[in-house]
Structure 1
């Protein structure tokens, strides 16, 4: 079948699926008037009634209209946000284990509340998986009033933190979605009806559970139902990313410093060949000879060949791993990895096999001891263990074949609530990077004068700082959101849409 034929086939099958889903939406809408008449206590009591229906032998499909109707009513009362019909379509798709492709701004966070509530009724937990801790905490805090109004508990897990929504607590936070959280144990967070968290946190908790000596020490329940936000990023882009739990091995700090000094004296093109496309670096014959002279070794490849491993890592650290792109140096003089997909710092995460130590040696900071791997799993293998998995994203159709092949997930394209009015312009390509910066500055300056808020996205901390310097040079006031100043994240995002605001961000801010 040709590519064009495949495309038309996908469109036809999607339209048929949407028509089928609309019949279920009609059943939800038929309950709207009666649900609106319920008192707050009666609305809360619907959760127990729905669970009784499940216990009596009905299925989730049977109770779906009633469950979605009460979630929509709770959203209207607590958030003044009523689910549109197209959002109900998305919720049905998520419940049925599909990837719901929804355009940016169509309210995916609100859509997920429908399927999470419905599947949590089975009492086995429902997970919402995000790309970073901030989105997990914010999404959970945003939707928590809905779950709370229906008598369900909601939690979030983050790096070295887990908390349960508790409206009786009010923390001093700028963002109201971050105010009502009570710290709880990891296990208690997973025992909540609905749990939000970052993808790697779920994976690491699974690995730690498999290392405990007593089953009573595990924190996760069965992997019952999960919705993956930005599904294409997590399930495709990060699919082969290994999650690794390791411990310290023997100290070899001086060796790393020695090889870092050798690598610093090797010249690209003469002593080694850099292949950025393949993320590889290879020593030439002259490079090997030069290294042997500097190390005072007649042959690197005879006897103890560990020298080759140290030199290889030192060379990778020099040529492939750049400060403010792949990592940053913290004020405490530590090398912290920057997630290439989210642009965020990953404290506690380290490159394996001595690579992290080689980067520390290159930067001249204190070298942490090398690690020994105890447990590992890829993102892909972890999520394939869920009994039922779904996802949502703005861009899934292009990855539909791979998502079905690997995860058996079908993509359903959800129509927009209103006709699209956003104008997506063609890409502009410049001969030089400076030419691109000049064009960006000119465009931002022009719109800033009119009072239009502007968001500029960059691919790395380094690029964001370079562009920030250009903006400062032209007197354009702006905020920078990257891995170096993530503490101010909530304040920067809160002001990003204000009149005349200019916000410069790496991908850590998320697409929405």
Structure 2
């Protein structure tokens, strides 16, 4: 008997079916317009854009012009790229325009889909941001789809790291801007640290389309974007602590892999205290539990986490450090690996000294710790947009989170052709070795019949272990992990070739389709580069004919075989890997090989399964394969996903408190930058400071003999730079605190007016603006640090039956109010203290600057002469840049003779 839910779905269709059905009339309208747009000239497409812009400016809604805009965009793509969008691609574009996430399977052409809503929304003239997961895709998509926008008369910009400011500003001024999520977030923070409006890059947040939306808005949203500055150097302490952490015994700590947490036991604390005293890190007689030991305890805990929770080649890799030009810096660095995509996160560092603890563990150069100058989470950055949309192949498992946090609905777009992929049930083995043996055997079988195989692993270490096994078995293969990051597109392009075997770590070809028979465009480009004199059209025809034959052979062999070596914590990542196979109705197969020793199985209840397998009397090398196993694993994954969502939701609640304050501060900064005259704001601040001082030293409802007139006089001297006879005023008949407040305001206003006249009104306005901005920035930095400290301790309030979040909200608000009070006081004090320089002081400053410049020039001349003299000596004495014995005696600050471009003291003259 059918349940009510099943019956209702059979009669009315699912909510998703109804949404899909609702777009059909619109798609029919777009298709009906196609013949009219085909008749337009190239110039006619651009004229149509201008007409649509005008209509939107005059008040016509975007929904009203959607059929014409989509038809115009489809025609432009046909002419510029030779691609005609399918109906399902138009459908995806409609859902994106409506502010949804369009879930489209791999190979359905998401990159082209984004052009439709981007073009439509760009008609408003407010700019559209298309967000990608890495710089390569931002550049590729901007260049590729830029041809479509150019055919429509729109400008395309691309934002990448280390871009000159003027280029970046121009990219944001374009109608459609491609950028990574990191760069957009960092630019938002940088803009809100600028001192001039003209230096700001972004021009508002109108509409964003996020590609791989699950990766960006969920996986990467755990870590906030932070702009930091260097703090006090504590590298010696990290090294000293790291020297004894490896000696720690198993009974000294407890490790919780589920929560990714590690703590010292009581025995561990005793051993620790002994070690710290022995090595002089903790003063004799001082215990670990005293407030003075907080810093040391923090560092020791981070060292323990670095050793027990973070694994080399899984969570991070160690590689030679290079500058932006790719030149070696002469030392190794620790680079984090994104646990979801397997890519290196260059420039991203763990906070709270954890990154330094890992550097000490790996004997790398310890970079100084940083203090936060500005920060924002991806959740709060992307919620700035008036409208947000996203695309991915896998979002339905996280639909609740998208709806709760971003207000985004998830709509599954049907595929253009039915999926022909065969998904095997999971095969579970007792041990990892049995599993790997079975994997190698299965790869061998597929390889022998010419079926291309994509093998998914969860860490670099495992991918390299499997690579060694395949090499032993004599199977030719490619390995794609964070070490081969730069070759990613090429390796993925070859992954669909006949008999190809590719091992990929967590990053199964995102952004580049795996096409059966190999990527024809890559083959053509390679052939043209190899034979530059041959006609490119001839090469294209030859390669396309060869490719068609290869593709047919691969299809006969069964299409792409995706073989996963274990399940991830998230079903979505598994589905992404599985989705690499069976694109556009191609044949394909997917299989997951697991063992009871896998992380997910080991952490989430493998004991029961182990008992079941033992009871069944399974022989070595045998696997259990059953749909029930799949279901129980998916339930475990759903639990982990739910827990991770709760963690992110809780983190966001805390960040929302800071976000409200951030918005107030950033809005204030913008108002200050836009204002021409801040004298009123500054005067109001000064008057509030005076009112606060009078309240402090002459409290309301007190008698005159209780007033601290001397204290008020000193405070006026310190903060207002005015010497006033407060005691005499207070002694006058009938003078109350209000009268004294008015007199102080008049005196300070007069003094500031004289100062403005001495500087000149325009100069004074500039000074006020700079002092206000600098003080706001300084106070905000201090406030962020205070909030970080509050956040780290407020959790303990839970032990006193008090809600940590409410406590945090209350205290954060009080801290914000006191920050604003101290801001007023500091601005008033700074402006009161500045004065024009006398002629003598100006002359003295000019002389000092001239002396500094002369000294710099002399040092430069001396270095040039020494370099020239050494060059002559080198020529005479047979100098060899590869032989330090022929270098003579180079100066420590001179360029290194080896030709590295670095100073000698930082290169061959480095003290070890």
Length-normalised TM-score, structure 2: 0.52
Task: Establish whether residue 324 from structure 1 lines up as the match of residue 305 from structure 2.
Answer: no
Counterpart Cα distance in 1 of 2:489 and 2:338: 19
Secondary structure, in 3 states, of the residue corresponding to 1:429?
A: strand
Aligned with 1:300 (options 276, 288, 303): 288
Return the match for 1:86 from 80, 85, 88.
Answer: 88
| Structure number having the greater helix percentage | 2
Could you say what secondary structure the match of 2:428 adopts?
coil
**Structure 2 counterpart SS, 1:350:** coil
Deviation at 1:396, TM superposition (A): 2.2
Q: Deviations over 1:305-363 (max 9, x none)?
A: 21100100000000011111111111231011111222111111111111110000000
Aligned-partner Cα distance in 2 for 1:258–1:223: 48
Q: Helix, strand or coil for the counterpart of 1:223?
A: coil
Structure 2 residue aligned with 1:109? 111
Which runs of structure 2 are paired with 1:194-273 in the superposition (5 Å)?
194-268=176-250, 270-273=251-254
* Alignment of structure 1 residues 154-233 onto 2, 5 Å: 154-161=156-163, 185-233=167-215
Given that 1:262 and 1:291 are in contact with CA atoms closer than 8 Å, whether structure 2 keeps it comes out as no
Q: Secondary structure at the match of 1:423?
A: strand
Distance 1:190 1:466 in 2: 45
Q: How far, CA to CA, are the matches of 1:399 and 1:490 in structure 2?
A: 28
2: CA distance between counterparts of 1:294 and 1:344? 38
Cα distance, 1:11–1:384 mapped onto 2, change above 3 Å: farther
In 2, the alpha carbon distance for the partners of 1:158 and 1:7 equals 50
Matching of residue 62 in structure 1 with residue 51 in structure 2:
no
Label 1:124 to 1:246 Cα distance change in 2 as closer, same or farther (>3 A): same
Residues 156 and 463 (structure 1), Cα distance of their counterparts in 2 relative to 1, 3 Å cut: farther
Q: Deviations over 1:438-468 (max 9, x none)?
A: 2221222111122222211222222222222
Distance 1:161 1:5 in 2: 55
The answer to whether the 8 A contact 1:448-1:502 is kept is: yes
- The 3-state SS of whatever aligns with 2:342 is coil
Provide the residue aligned with 1:452 in structure 2: 451
What does the per-residue CA deviation read over 1:93-113, in whole Å, with 9 as the maximum and x for residues that have no partner? 000101111122211111111
In 2: Cα distance, 1:300 partner to 1:401 partner: 44
Superposed counterparts of 1:285-296, under 5 Å: 285-296=266-277
Partner in structure 1 of residue 74 of structure 2: 72
**Any idea what SS the aligned residue of 2:483 has?**
coil
What is the 5 A alignment of 1:431-470?
A: 431-470=430-469
Alpha-carbon separation, structure 1, partners of 2:172 and 2:66: 24
CA distance in 1, matches of 2:443, 2:114: 35
Q: Which runs of 5+ in 1 are unaligned?
A: 163-182
SS in 1 for 2:114: helix
Q: Distance in 1 between matches of 2:171 and 2:409?
A: 30
Q: Is the 8 A contact 1:325 1:460 kept in 2?
A: yes
Partner Cα distance (1:319, 1:6) in 2: 53
Tell me how far apart the structure 2 counterparts of residues 274 and 153 of structure 1 sit (CA, whole Å): 54
Counterpart secondary structure, 1:484: helix
Aligned residue for 1:395? 394
Name the CA shift for 1:467/1:184 in 2 (closer, same or farther; >3 Å): farther
Distance 1:439 1:156 in 2: 46
Aligned to 1:276, which of 249, 257, 274? 257
Q: Please give the alpha-carbon distance, in whole angstroms, between the structure 1 residues aligned to 2:496 and 2:163.
A: 30
Greater CA radius of gyration, 1 or 2? Answer: 2
3-state SS of 2:429 partner: coil
Against the structure 1 CA distance between its residues 507 and 362, is the aligned structure 2 distance closer, same or farther, given a 3 Å change threshold?
Answer: same
- Larger deviation: 294-303 or 116-125? 294-303
Distance 1:446 1:82, change over 3 A: same
Following superposition, the deviation at residue 494 of structure 1 comes to 2.3
Distance 1:379 1:5 in 2: 38
Give the whole-Å Cα distance in 2 for the aligned partners of 1:409 and 1:295: 52
Cα deviations across residues 404-451 of structure 1 (Å, max 9, x unaligned)?
121111122211112221222222222222222222212221111222
Matches of 2:140 and 2:504, distance apart in 1:
18
Cα 1:5/1:210, change in 2 over 3 Å: farther
User: In structure 2, what is the Cα distance between the partners aligned to 1:254 and 1:7?
Assistant: 68
**What is the match of residue 356 of structure 1?**
355
Q: Residue 161 of structure 1: CA displacement?
A: 4.2
Structure 1 residues 55-86: Cα deviation after superposition (integer angstroms, max 9, x where no partner): 22211111111111111112212222111111
Q: Which residue of structure 2 aligns with residue 45 of structure 1?
A: 47
Question: Match for residue 504 of structure 2?
Answer: 505
| Correspondence for 1:172 | none
Q: Which moved more, 1:310-319 or 1:472-481?
A: 472-481
- Given that residues 262 and 295 in structure 1 are in contact (C-alpha distance below 8 angstroms), is that contact kept between their aligned partners in structure 2? no
User: Within 2, Cα distance between the matches of 1:476 and 1:75?
Assistant: 42
Query: How far off its partner does 1:492 sit?
Result: 1.5
Stretches of structure 2 that go unaligned for 5 or more consecutive residues are 322-331, 511-575, 581-912
My pick for the range that moved more, 325-334 or 138-147, is 138-147
Shift of 1:5: 7.1
Q: CA deviation at 1:184?
A: 6.7
- The whole-number CA distance in structure 2 between the counterparts of 1:313 and 1:229 is 35
Larger RCO of the pair (alpha carbons < 8 Å, separation 6+): 1
Deviation of 1:24 after TM superposition, in Å, equals 0.6
Structure 1 window deviating more from structure 2 (15-24 vs 38-47): it is: 38-47
Question: Separation in 1 of the partners of 2:139 and 2:466?
Answer: 30
The 2-side partners of 1:13 and 1:407 are apart by 20
| 1:406-425 map, 5 Å | 406-425=405-424
CA RMSD of aligned residues (A): 2.2
For 1:389 and 1:8, how far apart are their aligned partners in 2? 29
Q: Which residue of 2 aligns with 1:133?
A: 135
User: Structure 1 residues 353-362 or 43-52, which shifts more?
Assistant: 43-52
Q: Aligned partners of 2:383, 2:441: CA distance in 1, in Å?
A: 47
Tell me how far 1:7 sits from its aligned partner.
10
The answer to whether the Cα contact below 8 Å between 1:482 and 1:505 also exists between their aligned partners in 2 is yes
Q: Quote the Cα distance in structure 1 between the aligned partners of 2:160 and 2:312.
A: 25
Distance 1:306 1:209, change over 3 A: same
